[in-house]
């Protein structure tokens, strides 16, 4: 029998609620505690849990290195792109009020997109830090120093 059977079963049960909760924290962040940073961490935790229990190799087959790096860049692009969109629409950098006809709607949409960019970036950075630590060689001999 599998030695870590309990952990594997519980992990399978928990990963979907963790991702759902990450989305809740992400998109409910303007009405309740939460936002991009917290949601990104929670999203990354789901993948880190999967990697810890099922193995780094399997986690990388779900979310390979090159994809993590591109997601990281995509989040920053989303953030900066919103700022530039404000410039193009005639406001200052990161001025959300000009993004829609109604300034209130514009601010609402702007903060939502900004937080999405932050969340995506934080999640990707956390996963890539986990990959870097978990993928290191298990032992460093004295000659390697």
Partner 1 sequence: MGIFDTIIYVLSWVSILSGSAFLIIGAAGIIRFPDFWSRLHAASVIDSAGMALLLLGMMLQAGLTLITVKLFFIGLFLIITGPTSTHAVANAALVSGSRPLGDDSSPTITPEQVAEAVTQTPDPIEEEPSKL
**Do residues 107 and 96 make contact, with C-beta atoms less than 8 angstroms apart?**
yes
Please report how close the Cβ of residue 95 comes to partner 1 at its closest, in angstroms.
34
Least separation in angstroms between CB 46 and partner 1: 13
Mask for 100-139, x = binds partner 1 (CB under 8 A) = ----------------------------------x---x-
Q: Does the protein bind partner 1 through residue 57 (CB under 8 A)?
A: yes
Q: Binding to partner 1 (CB under 8 A): which residues in 8-47?
A: 8, 10, 13-14, 17
Q: Minimal CA–CA distance to 118: which of 9, 16, 41? A: 41
The residue among 4 and 69 lying less far from partner 1, judged by its C-beta, is 4
- Could you give the count of Cα atoms lying within 13 Å of 78 in the half-sphere of its Cβ? 21
Copy the structure tokens of residue 118. 């932050």
Tokens found for residue 144: 């390697």
Phi, psi of 55 (to 5 degrees): 110, 145
Instruction: Give residues in contact with partner 1 (CB under 8 A).
Output: 2-4, 6-8, 10, 13-14, 17, 52-58, 61, 134, 138
């Amino acid at each position: 029998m599998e030695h870590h059977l309990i952990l594997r079963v519980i992990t399978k049960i928990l990963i979907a609620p963790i991702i759902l909760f990450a989305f809740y924290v992400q998109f409910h962040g303007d009405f309740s505690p939460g936002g991009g940073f917290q949601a990104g961490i929670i999203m990354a935790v789901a993948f880190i849990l999967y990697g810890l229990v099922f193995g780094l190799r399997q986690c990388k087959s779900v979310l390979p290195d090159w994809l993590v790096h591109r997601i990281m860049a995509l989040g920053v692009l989303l953030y900066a792109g919103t700022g530039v969109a404000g410039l193009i629409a005639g406001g200052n950098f990161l001025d959300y009020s000009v993004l829609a006809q109604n300034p209130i709607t514009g601010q609402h949409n702007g903060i939502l997109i900004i937080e999405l960019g932050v969340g995506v970036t934080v999640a990707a950075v956390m996963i890539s830090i986990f990959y870097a630590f978990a993928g290191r060689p298990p032992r460093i001999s004295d000659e390697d120093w």
